[in-house]
Amino acid sequence: MKSNPNGSNQYVLDPRQKMCWEFYTTPKSETFGNATRSAIKAGYTDGTADTITLTEWFCGRLWKLNAVLKGENKLRELMELTIVDVEGKVDVGIARIQADLAKYITSTLGKDEGYATRQENTGKDGKDLIPETINEEDKKALLGLIGK
């Protein structure tokens, strides 16, 4: 007998796993923050629901969620550091970190507000990025040779 009829594995979540995670992490869900009730609502048995937080997929997602929250807190902390010391001197290191963070945040979170990093897909004045290595005279010479 298969333990998982939905064919999930370490790479693909089954529908119950997706629903359980959504119920657990959605603030408007009636089971928000309660893993057991979220698992039952998603279709798990009571026994499996009681141990859902011990499963590899759940622990992995919870770790990632916590890591993102910690990362956001660290970004906030670094952005709010004072760059001027008590003597009125600017700490260039902190200023550089804050400038880099500002670029990163605006280019990722701010892209819908018009902040985006431009990437060149053409060379100077719209020409090819990688210019052809054969000039026109050589092309004509080669075409003349091929035609003979």
Q: Distance between CA 8 and CA 13 in Å, rounded?
A: 5
Concatenating the DSSP letter of every residue in 24-47 gives HH-TTSTTTT-HHHHHHHHT--HH
131 pLDDT more than 90: no
Considering the entire predicted model, what is its pTM?
Answer: 0.59
Residue-range domain boundaries for the chain: 1-69, 81-114
Please write the tens of the pLDDT for every residue from 19-64: 999 999 999 999 999 999 999 999 999 999 999 999 999 999 999 9
